[in-house]
Structure 1
């Protein structure tokens, strides 16, 4: 996160980035924060599908250790680009927050608002 409170996002549009001050994906406690672009000058980016996310939708996060399943709990748009501190709990139950841009686009300064997808882990099936 920059000194201005803004969360850095990978510049290529194809990748999403894990915020290193948040919980690791798959952690048993705390919030995992992953941010990505909604679009680029060339078109849709990695988080473009989030604009259609609804409560109950599945989310998959792929890491070097495998794929983790989550279910969307809430979708919220907020004005401004500063990361709301209440979204990033270092303790508490595990959850995933995906962040991308939304709202009106302002040439020279980008999107006015941010979209937050709050998701909870889906229990893995027990092998029999």
Structure 2
């Protein structure tokens, strides 16, 4: 999101159990479907768009929407900590602001990623999970495909989510969400 983060009613709802939370898969060996064990993400590194950002935990709000990271830090991303960690089998959710009231934010250039671009998540266990971008898609917030974006995957995947479209001054939020779909390399 961006600008004013108090209006969470326009944010896409998270299903009751996005992704999976347990994995008995062995450590990654380089194969695309090799899952990593659970470990909290520490930093998001996207060289293509100059992102080097720390993580914070995100939760679900009263209305069933994923709460955005605090707007006070423009270089901060959040992950849904009760879901899958980046690199685990399933779908991990990472969100960041496109801007704030004062400046551009961590995902200001997220729309510049292309299919095939790579990014990394540095994890608390010391490993780096490398992901490959599959696609970028923009969805109207009132038609957000929650099942498609948040649904469980049979391999380690990540969704990078930010606001997009026009800024609606009445609701103090953007009209769309940009979602980057990616899988573990």
Q: TM-score normalised by the shorter chain: which range applies?
A: 0.7 to 0.9
Q: Deviations over 1:17-38 (max 9, x none)?
A: 11123211111x1001101101
Equivalence for 1:42: 102
**What RMSD in Å do the two structures reach over aligned CA positions?**
1.8
| Aligned partner (choices 10, 21, 29) of residue 69 of structure 2 | 10
In the alignment, structure 1 residue 26 sits paired with structure 2 residue 87: yes
Number of residues paired by the alignment?
A: 121
SS of residue paired to 1:43: coil
SS of residue paired to 2:132: strand
In the alignment, structure 1 residue 84 sits paired with structure 2 residue 146: yes
Any gaps of 5 or more consecutive residues in structure 2?
1-59
Any gaps of 5 or more consecutive residues in structure 1?
123-128
SS of residue paired to 1:85: helix
**TM-score of the two chains, using structure 2 as the length reference:** 0.60
Equivalence for 1:60: 120
Deviates more, 1:36-45 or 1:97-106: 36-45
Deviates more, 1:93-102 or 1:80-89: 80-89
Equivalence for 2:35: none
Looking at structure 1, the residues matched to 150 and 78 of structure 2 have their Cα atoms a distance apart, in angstroms, of 15
**TM-score of the two chains, using structure 1 as the length reference:** 0.84
SS of residue paired to 1:116: strand
CA contact (8 A) 1:72 1:117 kept: yes
Structure 1 pair 72/91, CA: closer, same or farther in 2 (3 Å)? closer
